[in-house]
Amino acid sequence: MPELAEVELARRQWAACHGDTIIDVNVHNKARIYRDCPSAALGILKGKILRSSHAHGKRMLFTFAPELHLEVHLGMSGKLSTAPPNYSEQKHDHLIVYTAKAALIFNDYRMFGRVMLHDCANPWADLPPQPQDSKFSLIHVRKLIKRHPKKPLKALLLDQNACPGIGNWMADEICWRLGIHPGIATGTLEAKKLRKEIRFVTFGSLKHVADKNSKASSDGFAPGSYVANVPPKNWLFQHRWKKGGICPKCKTTLARDTIASRTTAWCPNCQF
């Protein structure tokens, strides 16, 4: 599926090089990608070993030493991939890290993504629980609802401090499974149901990453093709972009509008 799942898939691309030594770093100095961190600082990675990697919501963290981490966010169009070590820079490549065996590439044509270095032990210490974590409890979800009672459901789902990892497509999927219009105020929701569907869609997304990975692939991933092919037909996701797309439950033509500043699709028959 989208978003969270693609982050996880992207992380795995580079994770193939865990344990390998960085022998060269090529940065695109002028790129907006480096608005949080001077690109020249990335030279410090030379000679270091990529030890491990983690994801939290849509963020990824690649660890080189206990107090040296590279954080990557894909924005709207970022991609991570690997290539043979003789790879040379392509259009919109902003970071290429070379090991003896491979080139690790970050490419992002729209440049909404970002890359930054952290020189502390745990740069993610203050991040909120993710839907797939045990800390995303019923009590936690009740607190979220209480904290944002007037916020539209869709806006709460897209708030990365509340639901890290949920993106536009997953948010619509969750609203649709809830049978609730995405514009409805959060305060009217049942925490138990909300938590259930957030977690269903989150785990479902991650499962599809595993399914996809079980087939042999790939030289870098193409979000478009991956996303279009993997999720089941009984998810809203498969229908929401087609013009005249229909609800997989009741076959009603889906409605589309901008909600929480994002294009939103819903079934006017199943959601209100």
- How many residues touch DNA under the rule CB under 7 A: the total is 34
Q: Is 31 helix (H, G, I), strand (E, B) or coil?
A: coil
- Examine residue 246 and tell whether it contacts Zn ion (CB under 5 A): no
Partner from DNA, Zn ion, none binding residue 135, C-beta < 5-8 Å depending on class: none
Contact 115, 34 (CB under 8 A): yes
Closest separation between CB of residue 22 and DNA, Å?
26
User: d(Cα 254, Cα 9) in Å, to the nearest integer?
Assistant: 29
In the window 54-83, what residues touch DNA (CB under 7 A)? 57-58, 73, 75-76
CB of 79 or CB of 195, closer to DNA: 79
User: d(Cα 240, Cα 145) in Å, to the nearest integer?
Assistant: 27
- Examine residue 253 and tell whether it contacts Zn ion (CB under 5 A): no
| Nearest alpha carbon to residue 95 among 32, 50, 48 | 32
CB of 90 or CB of 252, closer to Zn ion: 252
Tell me whether residue 176 is exposed, middle or buried, using C-beta atoms within 10 angstroms of its C-beta: 0 to 12, 13 to 18, 19 or more: buried
- Examine residue 238 and tell whether it contacts Zn ion (CB under 5 A): no
Partner from DNA, Zn ion, none binding residue 269, C-beta < 5-8 Å depending on class: Zn ion
CB of 86 or CB of 150, closer to DNA: 150
Closest separation between CB of residue 176 and DNA, Å?
15
Closest separation between CB of residue 269 and Zn ion, Å?
4
- Examine residue 262 and tell whether it contacts DNA (CB under 7 A): yes
CB of 141 or CB of 175, closer to Zn ion: 175
- Examine residue 247 and tell whether it contacts Zn ion (CB under 5 A): yes
Q: In angstroms, what CA-CA distances link 136 with 6, 220, 240?
A: 21, 32, 28
Residues in the chain: 272
User: d(Cα 170, Cα 57) in Å, to the nearest integer?
Assistant: 12
Q: In angstroms, what CA-CA distances link 168 with 28, 113, 216?
A: 29, 16, 28
Q: In angstroms, what CA-CA distances link 91 with 19, 29, 73?
A: 28, 14, 19
- Examine residue 150 and tell whether it contacts DNA (CB under 7 A): yes
CB of 22 or CB of 152, closer to DNA: 152
Task: Indicate the helix (H) or strand (E) that contains 13.
Answer: helix 4-15
Partner from Zn ion, DNA, none binding residue 91, C-beta < 5-8 Å depending on class: DNA
Give the binding site for DNA (CB under 7 A): 2-3, 6, 32, 57-58, 73, 75-76, 91-92, 109-112, 147-148, 150-152, 155, 158, 160, 167-169, 223-224, 226-227, 260-263
Give the binding site for Zn ion (CB under 5 A): 247, 249-250, 252, 267, 269-270
